[in-house]
Structure formats: C-alpha cells, structure tokens
Amino acid sequence: MKCKEVNKKLVSYINDELSNTENKNVKSHLESCAICNEIAVELQNTMNLFDDRITLQPNPFLYTRILQELNNLHTVQDNNGFLPVFKKVLLPVMFSLLLIFSVFLGITLGNIYETNQQEKETSSLTIEYFFNDLEQETVEVSLLNE
Ligand SMILES: [Zn+2]
C-alpha cells in the first residue's frame, strides 16, 4: 500500500469503517511507515477532541450551580452591607452589655460575699450569746450551788 492510499483511508481506519483486509493493510503500513503512523496518531488525537466535544453534554447541575453562585454573590453583598452596621452598632452594644453584665456580676458577687460575712457575724454573735447564756447559767448554777 502506498502512503497516499493509506492517508485517504486513515479517517475510515480510525473510525473502524474499513473492511478487514483494508484494515489489515493500513495497519501493516502504519507499523512500517513512521510518517503515516505519526499522521494517524495526530488524526486520532484530533478525532478524540471532536469526540470529547460531541460527548460533552450540558451539565444538568449547571443551572443550579449558576443560581447558587448568584445567591452566594447576593449573600456576600448582604454581608458587606451588614458588616459596617455590625461594627458600628452591634459591637459597641455588645461591649456595653458585657460591661454592664460584669458590673452587675461584681455587685451581686460583692453582695453575696457581704451577706455571707454578715451571716457569719450574726452566727458568731448568736454563738457568743449562746455561750454567754451558758456562762450566765453556769454562773447562776454555781451561785445557786453555793
Ligand atoms: Zn506511509
């Protein structure tokens, strides 16, 4: 087989459209002829590209993806609109709330500590009174005994 003949039949050969004998002839020529083999490989690559384009089908999720991207853009814009408000208003409010809470916490803790102290004082007073009473009693008892 001559190179010209092979080149004419290369497309058919790659598409598997040749008869068995023609296919064998082209194949044997390609194995022996480096130039035709190179052409065949390039042609094959080009055909693969076309095949890829043909098999490239629209992604069913493309529409939803685009919608999602658009939504993301919207949310980003919303965030950009929200952030200055957050920085200007919400952060000071949160800080003042935290300050108020800490002051309140300090006051309540101080009150609890104070009441505990008072309770301790009163309890010690009662104990002292109780002891004093006992002492008085003992004094009375001792006096009576005398
Ligand atoms: Zn050749």
What's the pLDDT tens digit per position in 12-30?
Answer: 998 889 999 999 999 999 9
Task: Measure CA 15 to chain center.
Answer: 48
- Residue 61 Cα distances to 11, 41, 107, angstroms: 35, 35, 60
Average pLDDT score over residue span 128-143: 58
**Domain boundaries, given as residue ranges, for the chain:** 1-56
Residue 68: which pLDDT band, with cuts at 50, 70 and 90?
confident
How far, in Å, from the CA of 54 to the mean position of ligand 1? 30
How far, in Å, from the CA of 50 to the mean position of ligand 1? 24
Report the interhelical angle of 34-55 vs 3-14 (nearest 10°): 30
What's the pLDDT tens digit per position in 72-116?
Answer: 877 765 555 556 666 777 778 888 899 999 988 888 888 887 777
How far, in Å, from the CA of 51 to the mean position of ligand 1? 25
Residue 38 has pLDDT above 90, yes or no: yes
How far, in Å, from the CA of 31 to the mean position of ligand 1? 9
Rounded to whole angstroms, the Cα distance separating 52 from 60 reads: 17
How far, in Å, from the CA of 46 to the mean position of ligand 1? 19
How far, in Å, from the CA of 36 to the mean position of ligand 1? 4
Residue 55 has pLDDT above 70, yes or no: no
Question: What is the pLDDT of the chain when averaged over all its residues?
Answer: 78
Q: Which long-range contacts (CB under 8 A, 24 or more apart) does 33-37 make?
A: 33/3, 33/6, 35/3, 36/3, 36/6, 36/7, 36/10
Average pLDDT score over residue span 49-61: 68
Q: Which long-range contacts (CB under 8 A, 24 or more apart) does 22-31 make?
A: 25/1, 26/1, 28/1, 29/1, 29/3, 30/6
How far, in Å, from the CA of 34 to the mean position of ligand 1? 7
Q: Which pair of tokens denotes residue 27?
A: 């194949």
Burial, 103: exposed, middle or buried (Cβ in 10 Å; 0-12, 13-18, 19+)? Answer: exposed
Higher pLDDT, 3 or 70: 3
Q: Looking at residue 62, what is its pLDDT?
A: 78
Higher pLDDT, 133 or 38: 38
> What is this structure's pTM?
0.36
How far, in Å, from the CA of 3 to the mean position of ligand 1? 4
